[in-house]
């Protein structure tokens, strides 16, 4: 059966399919043949990842669809059993299930790239705005505002970089308690801190939201500022 399986993987018809379909078919048939006493699932996922890699997915990493299978373990096992019942085997349910995971993986990677890119470009814009003078003694961003935004850029990194949310939210009261923020505003009044936040919102660098359950204001970086202050 393994010899037939290897021939199947090398067949012209099999290799005419999309890499994701080939990866999922290889996974299904290897774990169904079950050639090893232990580790069949791991080897199936490894083979799956290898086929995706050959198909020029995973070029900067080596991963399969393991997270999707682990997160939906019961559905995964049920589909394996269901697809094995008939003769000939009907693998369409398993392929559909795996394709959803593949799509989610691509969405997560796209989110990751956008999040990292937005933060790199936002930082460049931040430096540029600090160095842009709007008058003899006035910059687009003063020192305090620059330091505040630089802090927010680091403090709001999302906990899950693959999530759709590009930024971790932070409340004004939470922001006030950070030692670095206290240091930046130690020689001015609390009113100055709130005035700076208001101005940064007015020029489109941050935005406010209201968390209804707690009735507190939340601060987020406004990445739309990237297009507003386009770097040429």
pLDDT digits (tens, 9 = 90+) for 91-142: 999 999 999 998 988 888 888 889 999 999 999 999 999 999 888 888 999 9
Domain ranges of the chain: 2-107, 133-228
pLDDT digits (tens, 9 = 90+) for 5-30: 999 999 999 999 999 999 999 999 99
Helix segments in the chain, DSSP class H: 2-10, 19-33, 40-54, 66-71, 73-85, 92-131, 143-155, 172-176, 179-184, 190-202, 225-228
**3 state SS of 204:** coil
Note the pLDDT of residue 16. 95
Sorting pLDDT into bands at 50, 70 and 90, what band is 174? very high
Sorting pLDDT into bands at 50, 70 and 90, what band is 193? very high
* pTM summary value: 0.73
- Could you tell me what percent of the chain has a pLDDT over 70? 96
Q: DSSP letter string over 86-151?
A: SSS---HHHHHHHHHHHHHHHHHHHHHHHHHHHHHHHHHHHHHHHH-BSSSS-BSS-HHHHHHHHH
For 133-228, which CATH class?
mainly alpha
CA distances from 1 to 7, 35, 226 (A): 10, 9, 57
Please state the CATH superfamily assignment of the domain spanning residues 2-107 in this structure.
Fido-like domain (1.10.3290.10)
- Could you tell me what percent of the chain has a pLDDT over 90? 67
């Amino acid at each position: 059966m393994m010899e037939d399986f290897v021939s199947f993987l090398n067949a012209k018809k099999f290799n005419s399919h999309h890499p994701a379909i080939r990866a999922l078919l290889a996974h299904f048939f290897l774990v169904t043949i079950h050639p090893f006493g232990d580790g069949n699932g791991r080897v199936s996922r490894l083979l799956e990842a290898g086929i995706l890699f050959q198909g020029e997915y995973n070029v900067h990493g080596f991963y399969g669809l393991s997270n999707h299978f682990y997160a939906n373990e019961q559905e995964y096992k049920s589909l394996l059993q269901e697809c094995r019942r008939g003769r000939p085997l009907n693998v369409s349910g398993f392929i559909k299930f795996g394709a959803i995971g593949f799509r989610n993986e691509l969405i997560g990677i796209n989110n990751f790239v956008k999040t990292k890119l937005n933060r790199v470009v936002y930082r460049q814009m931040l430096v540029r705005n600090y160095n842009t003078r709007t008058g003899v003694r006035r910059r687009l961003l003063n020192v305090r505002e620059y330091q505040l935004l630089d802090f927010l850029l680091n403090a709001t990194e999302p906990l899950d970089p693959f999530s759709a949310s590009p930024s971790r939210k932070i409340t004004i009261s939470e922001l006030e308690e950070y030692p670095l923020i206290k240091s930046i505003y130690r020689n001015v009044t609390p009113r100055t801190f709130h005035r700076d936040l208001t101005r940064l919102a007015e020029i489109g660098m941050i935005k406010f939201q209201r968390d209804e359950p707690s009735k507190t204001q939340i601060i987020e970086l406004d990445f739309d500022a990237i297009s507003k202050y386009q770097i040429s």
